[in-house]
Structure 1
Amino acid sequence: MKQMEVTIMGQSYVLGCPDGGEAALLDAVDQVDREMSAIRDAGKVKARERIAVLAALNLGYQLATRQAPRSEPAPRAEAGESAVDIDNLVQRLDKVLGDDGRLL
């Protein structure tokens, strides 16, 4: 396994990478950097850890919805209601993360 130095949101990291996995790792780093930078640039979240958690959730959600089998239609949201309850999710994250601050 080789090591690669990458930069995410201006900070350098040394990551382990299996032989032949360099392109996939660089693609993943690019996606994480773009997502974290977009959250930071939106200006609502300042703490790097919070930005990382939100970016991970966004990317995980994108991956899950892209790979989810579509055997039955997704439930329809009522007017003014999201299929994913973001407010509830943020409150649950705040509770788990404790005194380290609030996401929003």
Structure 2
Amino acid sequence: MKQMEVTIMGQSYLLGCPEGGESTLKNAVSQVDREMSAIRDAGKVKARERIAVLAALNLAYQLAEGPATAAAAAVAAAPATETVPAELEALIRRLDEALGHDGQLL
């Protein structure tokens, strides 16, 4: 298995990648980076762990909606000035309550 260094939201990660999967991994990293950056740039969430959880939930929801919706979302980057929907606000509040003041997931 090959290792690739990638950057997500300015932080470097060393990831394992199967031979021939470099392009797929780069696309996945780009999608995660776009999603996390959009959440951070919206200004409502500061903790990297919370941003990661919200991004994961957004991406999982897009996948659950169906392949066409997920593919369309992967292509479009959310603008930084976009307002946060009420459902996302509620999710942020629930995450804040669950995580408390320490910002730790575990």
- TM-score calculated relative to the size of structure 2: 0.69
Structure 2: where are the runs of 5+ without partners? 68-86
Q: Deviations over 1:61-104 (max 9, x none)?
A: 0001115xxxxxxxxxxxxxxxxx65665555445434534xxx
Greater gyration radius: 1
RMSD between superposed Cα atoms in Å: 2.2
Percent same amino acid among aligned pairs? 76
Contact 2:50–2:95 (CA under 8 A) maintained in structure 1: no
Query: What is the distance in 1 between the residues matched to 2:51 and 2:9?
Result: 10
- TM-score calculated relative to the size of structure 1: 0.70
Q: Which has the higher contact order (CA 8 A, sep 6+)?
A: 2
Q: Deviations over 1:27-53 (max 9, x none)?
A: 000000000000000000000000000
Q: 1:97 aligns with which of 90, 96, 99?
A: 99
Q: What is the number of equivalent residue pairs in this alignment?
A: 86
1:63-74 equivalence runs, <5 A? 63-67=63-67
2:57 paired residue number: 57
